[in-house]
Structure 1
Amino acid sequence: MPEQRNALPFEPKGSGKVNKPASGTPRQEAIPRYVADRMARRVAVYAGLPSLAGMGVFVGSYFLVTRGIADIAPGLTLTGSGLFFLLGLVGLSVGVLTSSWDPEPGSLLGFENFKPNVQRMKESIRAQKQQQKQEKS
């Protein structure tokens, strides 16, 4: 007998039902584990390196100014680090969208997977919208 509980204030309507798969049935995942791991590694590289560079701009500017090597305007430091952090933000999406969904890992940069993954994303959004329309009817 499934547990009955009160829905939390931020839960969508209808989420109070607990749908557990039968004990012998394997659980189907939206994203396979090997793909999720691959996405995590790519995000760490594509978002992590620019973010580290953004922090490095602050450290490098501080070092250059305090040693008297260069006179760097604070606005230039802020702009430079901001651009790297923005690049890191773009890297989050690129890291996910360049991951291969095949069991084989694909190429190093993975840009050949970008277009098919964008198509998958569009189809998924379209299917969710269609499902929501059917539920409202």
Structure 2
Amino acid sequence: MARQGQPKPFEPRGSRKPAKATAKSSISPKASGSAKASLGQQAIPEMVANRMARRIAIATGIPSALGMGVFVASYFLVSRGVVDIAPALTLVTSGAFFLLGLVGLSYGVLSSSWEDVPGSLLGLEQIRVNLGRLRQSVRAMRQGSPAE
């Protein structure tokens, strides 16, 4: 599970209750200037980034390969005289697969779990959670929430 006190990089500031403050800061005096500057720009954890990359590769790679395969298959079918396929049909079918790959890009990002536990195979339960977090983040940016 995610640590309770630390917000996720895409969550707006102030959406969680802060963790109990400790007497000593964990940031050294030398690093405090650069750490303060980078607080607003938190990186995606490596584990989550790998999970996203895997989902994106599958969700965009398969439809993109099928989109290119449509051209190859229609070329062989037409050149061998098996079937007469209209070029517009080849173009529309290939375009549909590439569009599906574009949708797969968003799906790969939104279906990835930001928790320590990877989640389910398809990640459908994470889409609603991540869309809600995305909406909150966009609302907070539009309202110009003050930086802490």
Question: What is the CA-CA distance between 1:30 and the residue it aligns to?
Answer: 4.0
Structure 2 residue aligned with 1:52: 65
Cα 1:30–1:127 shift into 2, 3 Å: farther
Cα RMSD of the aligned pairs, angstroms, is: 2.4
Counting only pairs closer than 5 Å after superposition, residues 1-137 of structure 1 correspond to structure 2 as: 20-21=34-35, 29-131=42-144
Question: What is the CA-CA distance between 1:114 and the residue it aligns to?
Answer: 0.5
Letter of the structure 2 residue corresponding to residue 53 of structure 1: L
Q: Percent identity?
A: 59
TM-score by length of 1: 0.75
Question: What is the CA-CA distance between 1:32 and the residue it aligns to?
Answer: 1.6
Letter of the structure 1 residue corresponding to residue 70 of structure 2: V
Distance 1:79 1:73 in 2: 10
Equivalent pairs counted in the alignment come to 114
Distance 1:121 1:35 in 2: 16
Q: Which has the higher contact order (CA 8 A, sep 6+)?
A: 2
Letter of the structure 1 residue corresponding to residue 57 of structure 2: A
Cα 1:90–1:110 shift into 2, 3 Å: same
Distance 1:21 1:96 in 2: 27
Structure 2 residue aligned with 1:5: none
Distance 1:30 1:129 in 2: 21
Letter of the structure 1 residue corresponding to residue 133 of structure 2: R
**SS of residue matched to 2:68:** helix
Moved over 6 A (4+): none
Question: What is the CA-CA distance between 1:88 and the residue it aligns to?
Answer: 0.5
Question: What is the CA-CA distance between 1:131 and the residue it aligns to?
Answer: 2.2
- Flag structure 1 segments of 5+ consecutive residues without an equivalent: 1-18
